Amino acid sequence: MTAAWPELDYTSWRETCAALHLYTQIVGKYRLARSPWINHSWHATFYVNGRGLTTSLVPDEPGGIEIVFDLIEHAVRGSATSGRTAGFALEPMSVADFHRRFVDLIRELGGTPKLHGRPSEMAEAVPFAEDRRPRPYDSDAVGRFFQALVRIDLALKRFRTSFLGKTSPVHLFWGALDLAVTRFSGRRAPLHPGGIPNLPDDVTREAYSHEVSSAGFWPGGGGPIEYPAFYSYAYPAPAEFKDARVTPADAFFEERLGEFLLPYDAVRKSPDPENTLLAFLESTYRAAADLGGWDREALECALGEPLRPRAVSAPP
């Protein structure tokens, strides 16, 4: 996209971001509770749409329910296949208030408001219904976050087109509030050690059952990182992965996370943000694939272009 990428100052909207993160966990856990399991927890995620974030259609009575975080008009909106609609405003409130309003919304739509009541992937997992601390809602900051997600989503989708092997959708995981895309070598991976706070090891081990090169974006607050950044990692990480030369020059390996990082501002302020991000995604993937011995010739192709099918030759 040629439009300017918005400024994202994590420290100025830290509390709103933390609140939004918890709100997405509540809605995400509703989708998780109602959806058949898909490999690597792909059934639990959100997707960027024209208004914000959507669950897509969640199986529920009498057919299905879709929940959208409308980050333009700042509301949670629900639509059921029965024709019912319901919603409430995103505004300053407690997590307990959001939880109550969301449960009421699902009931109003005729659905089943049952979901796991504690946050995941957080060291302090206060039950949603008991988290009564007032939370702010900075609508301007949330709007900028959405506009950033739109641009990042399109860039990740473009990156996804150059891989013929198994690849995930571009989707937002509410566990860490990160927008991600993952490529797979096709080989099984060593058993993951688990140990992620408030996440069953069985879930983690299934998510990393096969070798991956995964990349994405989070808005800040991810462990030692107090600013928005792009990330890229491999599991299992090949020997010398952390020493690989990647681009652009602002990218670096974060030892504590075991991932390559690229600050969002380095992309936003570059002359061509999308291609700067693509350079990071491609170079870190190549480091993982080359050092990990992936069959790149079989797995890769050129970036996709509108209205141009892949050229396919006859098999030998």
One domain, residues 148 and 188: yes
Contact (CB, 8 A) for 11 and 138? no
Number of structural domains in the chain: 2
What pLDDT does residue 1 have?
A: 43
Q: For residue 161, give its domain range.
A: 140-299
One domain, residues 275 and 180: yes
One domain, residues 83 and 56: yes
154 burial level (CB within 10 Å; 0-12, 13-18, 19+): middle
Provide the token pair at 152.
């990042």
Query: pLDDT-derived band of residue 222, with 50, 70 and 90 as boundaries?
Result: low
One domain, residues 219 and 120: no
Give the model confidence (pLDDT) of 140-179 as tens digits: 999 999 999 999 999 999 999 999 999 999 999 999 999 9
Q: Which of 230, 193, 238 is nearest to 211 (CA)?
A: 238
* Structural domain includes residue 3: no
One domain, residues 29 and 148: no
Query: pLDDT-derived band of residue 78, with 50, 70 and 90 as boundaries?
Result: very high
Locate the DSSP E strands across the chain.
47-48, 52-60, 63-70, 75-80, 85-89, 171-173, 178-188, 210-218, 229-235, 252-254, 259-263
Q: What is the CB-side half-sphere exposure of residue 26 using CA atoms within 13 A?
A: 28
What pLDDT does residue 252 have?
A: 98
* Structural domain includes residue 305: no
* Structural domain includes residue 100: yes
What pLDDT does residue 3 have?
A: 76
Q: Is the pLDDT assigned to residue 313 strictly greater than 90?
A: no
Contact (CB, 8 A) for 77 and 85? yes
Beta bridge pairs of residue 167: 183
One domain, residues 146 and 287: yes
Contact (CB, 8 A) for 7 and 268? yes
Alpha helices by DSSP H, 47-138: 95-108
Distances in Å between the Cα of 133 and the Cα atoms of 11, 139, 175, 298 are 19, 19, 20, 53
What pLDDT does residue 2 have?
A: 53
One domain, residues 189 and 227: yes
* Structural domain includes residue 224: yes
Q: 85, 101, 130 — which closes off a domain? A: 130
One domain, residues 35 and 122: yes
Average pLDDT over residues 193-211: 96
What is the Cα Rg of the chain in Å?
20
Angle at 16 between CA 280 and CA 151, to 5 degrees: 30
DSSP state of 163: B
Average pLDDT over residues 19-39: 98
What pLDDT does residue 314 have?
A: 87
One domain, residues 51 and 83: yes
One domain, residues 115 and 155: no
Q: Are strands 75-80 and 178-188 parallel, antiparallel or unpaired?
A: unpaired
Angle at 169 between CA 310 and CA 144, to 5 degrees: 115
One domain, residues 126 and 174: no
* Structural domain includes residue 79: yes
Q: Whole-angstrom Cα distance, residue 65 to residue 27?
A: 12
Contact (CB, 8 A) for 205 and 233? no
Provide the token pair at 193.
């050690």
* Structural domain includes residue 176: yes
Q: Compute the Cα dihedral for 218, 34, 93, 76 and give only its sign.
A: positive
* Structural domain includes residue 304: no
Average pLDDT over residues 288-309: 97
Question: Is the omega angle on the peptide bond into residue 62 within 30 degrees of 0, that is, cis?
Answer: yes
Average pLDDT over residues 290-301: 97
Q: 79, 101, 130 — which closes off a domain? A: 130
One domain, residues 85 and 156: no
Distances in Å between the Cα of 186 and the Cα atoms of 73, 130, 279 are 42, 43, 24
* Structural domain includes residue 37: yes
Average pLDDT over residues 248-264: 97
What pLDDT does residue 86 have?
A: 98
Distances in Å between the Cα of 158 and the Cα atoms of 63, 141, 181, 262 are 33, 26, 11, 18
Query: pLDDT-derived band of residue 62, with 50, 70 and 90 as boundaries?
Result: confident
